[in-house]
Amino acid sequence: MSDKRLRIGFIPLCDAAASIVAVDKGFAAAEGLDVELVREVSWSNMRDKLNIGLFHAAHMIAPIAIASSLGLGHVKVPIVAPFVLGVNGNAITVSPALYASIAAMAEGNIVNPMVSACALARVVASRKAKGQEPLTFGMTFPFSTHNCQLRFWMAAGGVDSDEDVRLVVLPPPYMVESLANKHVDGFCVGAPWNSVAVDLGIGFMLHFVSEIIGRVAEKVLAFRSRWAQDHPDALSKLVRAHARAAVFIDDVAKRDEVVAMLAPANRIGVSPEVVRRALDGRMKVAPDGATRVDENYLLVGRNGSGRPDPAQAAWLYAQMVRWGQAPLTKEMCDAAKAVFRSDLYDAALGPVQKTVLGEPADGIGAFAGPPFDPRDITGHLSAWRIGRVPVA
Amino acid sequence: MDPSFKIVIVDENPVRAAILEEGLREAGHVHVVRIGEMAHLLARIYAIDPDVILIDLENPSRDVLEQMFQVSRAVKRPVAMFVDQSDSASIEAAVDAGVSAYIVGGLRKERVQNILDLCISRFNAFARLQEELDRTRSALEERKVIDRAKGILMKAKNLTEETAYALLRKTAMNENKKIAEVAQSVITAAELFK
C-alpha cells in the first residue's frame, strides 16, 4: 500500500493551486489517495528530494524537469510530467526608477513589449555611456521559464542578457526585499510576488509574461520516470485529482472558496486578495492602483492547458540552447519532448478534448520572431541576433 | 584531510554554523568562513573563492548557489554538487541531515568525503539538540497550562491541588487525550464563563 501514501512538494506560489486544491478539497482522497503536501523553500531542494524519492511528486518549474532529464547542471534523473500545473503566470516587475527611465525612453506605448524592450536597450546604452553599473535583474533559477522570458524580451529589443545587464538568481521570497533595497532593478517571478511589490509601492509590473510569449508551460507536476513506471495507477489517480482541482479552480463561482484554501500561512501565505488577482488575471500593475486585465495571465487547466504539449518542451529546450545551457542535438530535443507525457494525461483522463482553445497558431505565440516549429530548432535559433548557441 | 581547503559555511542559523565550524577546525581546517547574511551571496562567495561550500537546506538561497553551475564570466572555476549518480547513499544522508555541499575547482570527491561526513554528523547532532530543546520547551509550556487549570479547578470546585490534578488525569484517560489538552479545555471554558 506504499502506493497510496504520497508526498508532494510545493513552493508557495499561486501556480501550486492545483496540488493544494487537489489535496485540501479532497479530490485526491476521492481517488483513494492519501497525500501529504510538503512546503519547500528552494527548487534545488525540490529537485533533490524528488530524485531521492523523499517526494513522490513535485511542483516544478518546467525547465528544471527538462534539465534533470537531460542531466544538465546536475545529476541526470529522468523526469516525467503528465500534468501541467500552470501555463504563464509570471510577470516582469521593475523599480519605480527603472520604470520612469523606460517610460522616458519609450517611442510608443510601453504596454507593447517591443516598445519597452527597445526603450530598455536605450536605457542600457545611456547608462553605459555614463559609466554607470549595469542594471541587475532577478530570476528564480538558472533553468527556468523566468530566465527564458526575461532574456527573450530583452533580446528582442537588442539587450544582450549576458553582456549588457546582470541576471541573478533570487529565491522568490527575497525578490521584493531585493527590489526595495535596490540590489536589483527588476525581476521576473511568479504570483504573488509581483503584486506584493506593487502593493508596497516599490515596483511597477511592466509585463505579464503572457504578453511576451502567449503560452509557456510554467510549472508541471513532476515524477521520477522510474516511479511513474512502477506506479501507473497512483500516477493516474493523482493526475485525475489534479484535473478535477483545475476545473474547480477555474470556476469563477468557486473562486472565494479556492482563494480561502490557497491563502493560509501553511499554503501560499499571502492575503486572499493578492491570490485572487492572479486567478482573476486582474492585476494591479502600479502603486497608484492602475490595473490591467489578461485572461491568460495564469491558466490552471483552462482551455486544455493541463495537458502537456511536447511542442512546449521543445520550445523550452530551444531557449536553453539559445542561452548556452544545453548543446543542440536531436537526441536531447527528443528527450526534452519526452518529458511532457500527454499520453499519461490521456490515459488518466480517458478520451479528452485535444484541441486547445484560443491558443496561438504555433502553440507558443511569441511577440517577436518567426512562428515556432518544434521540428526545426535550428531554424528557430538562427532567427536571433543575440544568443549563446554553442558552435557545433 | 587537506587543511588547505578553504571552506564556506552558508547558514542563517549562527548556532548550527558555529557547531559545524568548530567541527571543521577540530579536524584541522583552518580556512573556514561563515556567511549568515544572504544579500549579495554570490559576490561574497566569489570574493572568498572557496574550495568547498556547505549550505543548509532550509535556506532558500540554495538556489542562488545553483547559478554557479552556469558558464559565466563571474565563475572562475568549475563547480559541482558533491554527489553524482553513483552516490545516492551520500545524497540521501546529506538531505536527511539537511545540508548540501558544493565543490569548486574539480577537487576529487574522495578528498571531500570526510568534510561532508563531518557536516552530516554535526547537522544531525544539532537537530537532536534542537529537538531536545523543543521538547523541554513544550514540556515547560504544558506544565504551565496544567498548573493554571489546576488552579481554576481548585477554586471552582474547592479541591486540593492533588485532587484537581487527579481529576484532570482521570478525564484525560477517559477521553483518551493528553492531560495538557484537557487542561487547555478547562482554561478555555473558564474564560468563556468569565
Place of cell 543575440: A386
Q: Do A168 and B67 touch (CB under 8 A)?
A: yes
- The second-level CATH assignment, the architecture, of A5-87+217-269+300-382 is 3-Layer(aba) Sandwich (3.40)
Domain stops at, among B110, B132, B154: B132
B56 and B119 in a single domain? The answer is yes
Closest CA of chain B from A261, distance in Å: 24
Domain stops at, among B132, B150, B176: B132
Q: Do A41 and B88 touch (CB under 8 A)?
A: no
- What's the half-sphere exposure (Cβ side, CA atoms, 13 Å) at A216? 31
Among the listed residues B118, B188, B180, the one whose alpha carbon sits nearest the alpha carbon of residue B152: B188
CATH classification code of A90-212? 3.40.190.10
Which residue among B42, B61, B88 places its CB closest to the CB of A52?
B88
B24 and B113 in a single domain? The answer is yes
Is residue B176 included in any domain, yes or no? yes
Query: For residue A90, what are the β-bridge partners?
Result: A190
CATH of the domain at B159: 1.10.10.10
Domain stops at, among B114, B132, B150: B132
Is residue B56 included in any domain, yes or no? yes
> Which domain does B186 fall in, by range?
137-193
Determine the 3-state secondary structure of B6 from DSSP: strand
B63 and B159 in a single domain? The answer is no
Residues 100-119 of chain B with CB under 8 A from chain A are: 100
Residues 54-83 of chain A with CB under 8 A from chain B are: 54, 73-76
**Residue B82: is its pLDDT beyond 60?**
no
Q: Do B63 and A49 touch (CB under 8 A)?
A: no
Residues 345-364 of chain A with CB under 8 A from chain B are: none
B10 and B31 in a single domain? The answer is yes
Instruction: State the pLDDT at residue A2.
Output: 47
Q: Which residues of A touch B46 (CB under 8 A)?
A: none
d(CA A110, CA A98): 13
pLDDT in tens, B111-121: 777 888 888 88
B61 and B76 in a single domain? The answer is yes
**ipTM, interface predicted TM-score of the complex:** 0.89
B84 and B145 in a single domain? The answer is no
B97 and B169 in a single domain? The answer is no
**Cell for B7?**
571552506
Question: Where are the CATH 3.40.190.10 domain residues in chain A?
Answer: 5-87+217-269+300-382, 90-212
B108 and B16 in a single domain? The answer is yes
Q: Do A142 and B81 touch (CB under 8 A)?
A: no
Is residue B1 included in any domain, yes or no? no
Q: Do B100 and A52 touch (CB under 8 A)?
A: no
Whether chain A has a CB inside 8 Å of the CB on B61: the answer is: yes
B120 and B166 in a single domain? The answer is no
d(CA A180, CA A127): 21
The most distant pair of C-alpha atoms in chain B lies apart, rounded to whole Å, by: 78
**Cell for B128?**
537532536
Higher pLDDT, A75 or B167: B167
**Residue B122: is its pLDDT beyond 70?**
yes
B28 and B48 in a single domain? The answer is yes
pTM above 0.95, yes or no: no
| Structural domain total, chain B | 2
**Cell for A119?**
526603450
B142 and B97 in a single domain? The answer is no
Q: Do B66 and A171 touch (CB under 8 A)?
A: no
**Residue B187: is its pLDDT beyond 50?**
yes
pLDDT in tens, B139-158: 999 999 999 999 999 999 99
Encode chain A (392 residues) as per-residue pLDDT tens digits: 445 689 999 999 999 999 999 999 999 999 999 999 999 999 999 999 998 899 999 999 999 999 999 998 777 899 999 999 999 999 999 999 999 999 999 999 999 999 999 999 999 999 999 999 999 999 999 999 999 999 999 999 999 999 999 999 999 889 999 999 999 999 999 999 999 999 999 999 999 999 999 999 999 999 999 999 999 999 999 999 999 999 999 999 999 999 999 999 999 999 999 999 999 999 999 999 999 999 999 999 998 899 999 999 999 999 999 999 999 999 999 999 999 999 999 999 987 666 666 678 898 999 999 999 999 999 999 999 999 876 54
B28 and B107 in a single domain? The answer is yes
Q: Do B95 and A41 touch (CB under 8 A)?
A: no
Q: Do A171 and B61 touch (CB under 8 A)?
A: yes
Chain A, nearest residue to B91 by Cα: A52
CATH of the domain at B85: 3.40.190
